[in-house]
Structure 1
Amino acid sequence: MSQTTVSELMAELAALENPKMRAVNEKHGDDHGVNLSKLRAIAKRLKTQQDLARVLWATDDTPARLLALLICRPKEFGRDELDAMLRESRAPKVHDWLVGYVVKKSPHAEELRVAWTADPGPVVASAGWALTSERVVKQPEGLDLPGLLDTIEAQMKDAPDRLQWAMNTCLAQIGIQHPGHRARAIDIGERLEVLKDYPTPPNCTSPFAPAWISEMVRRQGA
């Protein structure tokens, strides 16, 4: 991919910038105002291009990095490369897409999950907990669910926001997916009251774990 073409692509992304959207995104820590549907349309046009993805990532520009995550080949990144990418992900949206679209599909996902969950940095640790939630739902064999509940019970109340949110998601998924641990998961949520007063739009499920668990179980008829 020629540098001129990369420059043209950067200009195309810059032209999508919407000041009002940026103002909304900045409240969540994201430094861009690009419509993500339009960004996905560009990615669809480009298709998969691993070399271009690496060039776009290296720009340190948030829309360019989001585009990179949509056109990359997740399995071609090395373990240390993914670790470095996570640690330099400033914007929450980049962080979330990296974990959700790339790391989850990587052969290094489990090794990184273990390493990140134990990391002293709350943002890195939150990525580990996001991967743990994925395993709770899709591949719980071998996970120590009572141990996870012990850790959540001890640490979630005072955890920084992103880590707290990730732990809370894991708590809810344990309660939703595993009936044998449901009562304890609900009890932990009720006692800690994390996200109990989180503003939830009408017709949306509250992130407060006891409410979230109860609603999802009701929908499943479980």
Structure 2
Amino acid sequence: MAGTTVSEVMAELAELEDPRACEVNERHGDDHGVNLSKLRAVAKRLKTQQDLARELWRTGDSAARLLALLICRPKAFDRAELDTMLREARTPKVHDWLVNYVVKKSPHAEALRVAWFADPDPVVASAGWALTTERVTAEPEVLDLTGLLDVIEADMKGAPARLQWAMNHCLAQIGIDHAAHRARALAIGERLEVLKDYPTSPGCTSPYAPIWITEMVRRRQDA
């Protein structure tokens, strides 16, 4: 809805705050209490509004930033702007949506992947690893898969949680997508035991790489 002001949107988001949702989100490191289905409904009504998206992002409010990422034009951000936004996105959900909904659709995605991958900030580096994991499936020819496994083997065990999770995902994706590297990926996962004891709900696949790889390969073979 064109003409909507930031104040009007913030007031609506405040009305949607749910203390129970806030409590659940806090357990995952997030700091908002708006149900995501309701947030998506607001975004659907507002449609794409790049200027409003930028204003909502500048509020610093997590719910407003999530909404901004739903109504923005991903290709309208320049590289420096996306880099700044990532460094400002400290909560997991905002970080995840920024990478997956915006950066991945940007013409600057590859340049940012390379820059973030080696960043000394582990949260920024985790975004570089997330973009690299997408390349493992979509464009493996731009990667040195053996070199990636070398880095994972050397650094994943001691990496901070967010970065470790991203590296583990990359390890699993290499094992799932590339049969030539599967035995080594499984061996690295078994030796490092990262996320081996991670609590997994019934019906869900464990993030422990050996289980994850084995299960996804089995599903593909059975399909």
**In 1, are the aligned partners of 2:113 and 2:129 still within 8 Å (CA)?**
yes
Identify the residue that residue 160 of structure 2 maps to in structure 1: 160
1:162 and 1:190 map into 2 onto residues whose CA distance is 20
1:142 and 1:30 map into 2 onto residues whose CA distance is 34
Identify the residue that residue 71 of structure 1 maps to in structure 2: 71
**In 1, are the aligned partners of 2:189 and 2:209 still within 8 Å (CA)?**
yes
Instruction: Quote the sequence identity (%).
Output: 77
Verify: 1:149 aligned to 2:133, yes or no.
no
1:27 and 1:184 map into 2 onto residues whose CA distance is 34
Q: Which runs of 4+ in 1 moved over 4 A?
A: none
| Residue 90 of structure 1, CA deviation | 2.0
| Residue 54 of structure 1, CA deviation | 0.4
Q: Which runs of 5+ in 2 are unaligned?
A: none
Paired letter, 1:126: S
SS for the counterpart of 1:168 is: helix
1:36 and 1:156 map into 2 onto residues whose CA distance is 31
SS for the counterpart of 1:141 is: helix
For normalisation by structure 1, the TM-score amounts to 0.98
**In 1, are the aligned partners of 2:52 and 2:68 still within 8 Å (CA)?**
yes
Deviations, residues 106-161 of structure 1 (Å, cap 9, x unaligned): 00000000110100110000000000001001111121000000000000000000
1:215 and 1:94 map into 2 onto residues whose CA distance is 29
| Residue 20 of structure 1, CA deviation | 1.0
Identify the residue that residue 93 of structure 2 maps to in structure 1: 93
Paired letter, 1:123: V
Paired letter, 2:137: V
Paired letter, 2:84: A
Q: Which runs of 5+ in 1 are unaligned?
A: none
Identify the residue that residue 206 of structure 2 maps to in structure 1: 206
| Residue 91 of structure 1, CA deviation | 1.3
Verify: 1:190 aligned to 2:187, yes or no.
no
Identify the residue that residue 172 of structure 1 maps to in structure 2: 172
Identify the residue that residue 82 of structure 1 maps to in structure 2: 82
Paired letter, 1:173: Q
Deviations, residues 11-58 of structure 1 (Å, cap 9, x unaligned): 101111111111111111100111000000111111111111001101
2:7 and 2:90 map into 1 onto residues whose CA distance is 22
Identify the residue that residue 140 of structure 2 maps to in structure 1: 140
Verify: 1:181 aligned to 2:185, yes or no.
no
**In 1, are the aligned partners of 2:18 and 2:34 still within 8 Å (CA)?**
yes
Deviations, residues 151-180 of structure 1 (Å, cap 9, x unaligned): 000000000000000000000000000000
Residues paired across the two proteins, number: 221
2:13 and 2:33 map into 1 onto residues whose CA distance is 10
Identify the residue that residue 17 of structure 2 maps to in structure 1: 17
SS for the counterpart of 2:53 is: helix
Paired letter, 2:25: N
Identify the residue that residue 48 of structure 2 maps to in structure 1: 48
1:195 and 1:64 map into 2 onto residues whose CA distance is 32
For normalisation by structure 2, the TM-score amounts to 0.97
| Residue 8 of structure 1, CA deviation | 1.1
1:21 and 1:44 map into 2 onto residues whose CA distance is 21
